[in-house]
Amino acid sequence: MGELVRYEAHDAVGTITLDSPHNRNALSRQLVGELVDCLSVAAGDDDVRVVLLRSAGRVFCSGADLSEAAEGGMTQGAAAIVGLQRQIVTLPKPVVARVDGPVRAGGIGIIAAADIVLADEEATFALTEVKLGLAAAVISLTVHYRMTSRAAALTTLGGEVFDARAASAYGLVTEAVPRADLDFRVAEICASLATGAPQGLRESKRVLNRDLLARLDAGADEMVALSAALFGSEEAREAMLAFLNRPR
């Protein structure tokens, strides 16, 4: 479909692959736009009953593109990330996320929006916003819905890395799977989901996500405004520039 996101369909599964290695699949304007386009194609593909979201390279998603945020603010970017989460939640087909590498900050909002998340036991997660003077604002609409309140407090306030087993216990991940078994388990789940009738899948997902959708719609404007204000603050701008200029 595009330069940073690829789409292919086979055996009733539409596979969307994030492939932006230069910034570790960060949620740049281009990547988000291409991902939205691919999700729309999958939604309209009558031969597809399940959507699989995965990544190429070592990192699933590193979060917001801080270089774009530091240069041009985050109002449009925050609104786009809310829209992306909403699109995944309302897609009329189940969305399965296959995670085999690190997921950070905004990337966690994507997997929280997905219906089923299968993660390599060695994958790691972190809500790192607090370290940069930010808050997990727009992604809180999905992330805090999935996680227990105690887990959300620990991970959001601490900003520390946690593993896939912890992510599963917290409610963020469906299953933590040994690396050698991940592809088999993903294929098994997708094949099982694909046996559902289109109407059954669509309506079952609508019922499952009714409360999550209401939460997204009710909190979107407030969280976009908060995110934009925090990204535009002097404290956060200094922290982002320091992070971007750190020795590699």
Please check whether residue 175 is in contact with residue 119, taking contact to mean a CB–CB distance below 8 angstroms.
Answer: yes
The Cα–Cα gap between 234 and 159 comes to 20
Q: Please work out, in degrees rounded to the nearest 5, the angle formed at the alpha carbon of residue 95 by the alpha carbons of 84 and 42.
A: 75
DSSP state of 56: S
Q: Is the pLDDT of residue 72 over 80?
A: no
If you write DSSP's letter for every residue of 162-223 in order, what string do you get? EEHHHHHHHTS-SEEE-GGGHHHHHHHHHHHHTTS-HHHHHHHHHHHTHHHHHHHHHHHHHH
**pLDDT value, residue 1:** 55
- What is the per-residue pLDDT across 93-137, written as a single tens digit (0 to 9) for each? 999 999 999 999 999 999 999 999 999 999 999 999 999 999 999
HSE toward the beta carbon, residue 142, CA cutoff 13 A: 27
204, two tokens: 């079952």
Catalytic residues: 129
Quickly state the pLDDT bin for 74 (edges 50, 70, 90). confident
